Amino acid sequence: MAAHNKSKNTFDFLQKNTHRVNEAYAYQLPLTPNPHPYKNDSQYWLFSDLYNLFGGQYVGRHKDIDNTMQTAITFSDFEKLPRTNADKISRPNSFIDFYSGHVVTIANDYNIHEASGTTITRKNGPDAKLSRYACWAMMKRWPSRIFAQLYFIMPDTTFEALYNAAYKFSRIYQRAELSRAEKIINGIAYRHNANMRQVHAKMDRAFFYISDTDTIRDAYEISGSLLDYMGARSLMARRIALDNAIQKFDSAHRVTFDTFMDILYEELIRARINMSRQTDRTPETDISRTPISRVASDLKKLERQFINKYAFQNLR
């Protein structure tokens, strides 16, 4: 529920703070009708708003916006674009034109809310209009912020559809994080000349309440590593358990491998219980028939479609 509420707050904030290039003209329409209205209806978001929403650790420094944004939108991104897209829109002639079409620096009045709780009021402070593509490129650097990425690459999508998509694609980040933790566990076991099959069987017995995961694979008619089919919640629960065990092992003095395995076993049981209480699901019921490789492929396809259209937009 907490993740759902956080995502909903993010969605509502971004919806509320969406701007359009022609909005100033649109406000004047009733007063100054024009038979040839400005047609650029591209959306943008202010850097200052995104800073307040996501924080400086994700967005970067508001005092140095261009250097911050040029780590997100790179020359390599520009070079990879086709000469024209599916809508027959030509790529800008230079990277400078490409970049300036997505990041328009301005002077603005705004408040900056720092993580420390302080608020900084700026008059004519540095700010920028960021295109949908620029916003996605900024958040793309942080795989854990998949909901924010999807908000920008899936325009005109309902919150619930975005939330469900985020759960699907969050498996990619959670699987990568679990792989990191599993490698550390395997390294500890290897250094102690442990039987790897027995180590993993004990881990599975604690987390799935079963030593032989073939039973689960047969039930879902899947093959290969069960970790590649686990849902985001079970992946995260298992990863947290492993990280906790690793931290306790690192901070303890002269812990035997048997003691470490007992710690790991207890952490995995605790993770299973907590997941069941919080989600009403156990790890063995949070299994997908879609392998993680296909999920990653689906995200890449979605990103290619987005880039082919929105990288060619221009805020100017």
pLDDT tens-digit profile of 156-207? 999 999 999 999 999 999 999 999 999 999 999 999 999 999 999 999 999 9
57 vs 172, higher pLDDT: 172
The CA–CA distances, whole Å, from 301 to 22, 123, 158, 249, 295 equal 31, 42, 20, 41, 10
| CB-CB contact of 146 with 170 (8 Å) | yes
- Measured CA to CA, the distance from residue 52 to residue 169 in angstroms comes to 25
- Chain segment 257-293, per-residue pLDDT in tens: 999 999 999 999 999 999 999 989 999 999 999 999 9
CA–centroid distance for 149 within its chain = 6
Q: What is the pLDDT of residue 28?
A: 45
Q: Which of 46-60, 240-254, 285-299 has the highest mean pLDDT?
A: 285-299
Mean pLDDT (the chain) is: 90
| pLDDT tens track for 31-51 | 445 444 456 778 999 999 999
SS3 19: strand
Q: Nearest to residue 49, comparing CAs of 123, 130, 106?
A: 130
Token digits of residue 122: 């700026």
Q: Find where tokens 């690793």 sit.
A: 246
Dihedral pair phi/psi, residue 46, rounded to 5°: -85, 140
- 68-303-166-19 Cα dihedral, nearest 10 degrees: 60
Reading the block at residue 62, the tokens are 């508001």
Helix (H) or strand (E) holding 170: helix 159-191
- Strand extents, DSSP E, the chain: 19-20, 43-46, 103-113, 119-131
Instruction: Examine the pLDDT at 29 and tell me if it is beyond 50.
Output: no
pTM to 2 decimal places = 0.86
